[in-house]
Structure 1
Amino acid sequence: MTARDVQKIIGARVLTGEEFLDREITSACASDMMSDVLAFSKDHSVLITGLCNPQVIRTAEMLDIVCVIFVRRKHPDETILTMAKERELIVMETGHRMFSTCGMLYSAGLGGGAV
Structure 2
Amino acid sequence: MTVREAVQVVEGQFYCGEEWADSTEVHSACGADLMSDVMAFVKEQVLLLTGLVNPQVIRTAELLDIKVIVFVRGKHPTLDMVDMARDAQIILAGTKYPMYIACGKLYEAGLRSGGTRKI
- 1:37 is displaced (CA, Å) by 0.4
Runs ≥4 residues deviating over 3 A: none
The letter for the 2-side match of 1:108 is A
Unaligned runs of 5+ in 1: none
Distance in 2 (CA, whole Å) between partners of 1:66 and 1:24 is 9
Number of residue-to-residue matches in the alignment: 115
- 1:66 is displaced (CA, Å) by 1.4
Q: Equivalent residue for 1:57?
A: 58
Q: Equivalent residue for 2:34?
A: 33
Unaligned runs of 5+ in 2: none
* 1:74 alignment partner, SS class: coil
- 1:73 is displaced (CA, Å) by 0.7
- 1:98 is displaced (CA, Å) by 0.2
Any idea what the Cα deviations from partners look like across 1:66-85, whole Å, max 9, x if unmatched? 10000001111111110000
Larger mean CA deviation between 36-45 and 11-20 belongs to 36-45
Distance in 1 (CA, whole Å) between partners of 2:82 and 2:43 is 22
* 2:47 alignment partner, SS class: strand
Root mean square deviation of aligned Cα: 0.9
TM-score by length of 2: 0.93
The letter for the 2-side match of 1:82 is D
The letter for the 2-side match of 1:51 is L
- Please list, as runs of the form range in 1=range in 2, the aligned pairs for 1:1-115 lying within 5 A after superposition: 1-22=1-22, 23-113=24-114, 115=118
TM-score by length of 1: 0.96
Identity rate, percent:
47
* 2:102 alignment partner, SS class: helix
Does the 8 A contact of 1:29 with 1:40 survive in 2? no
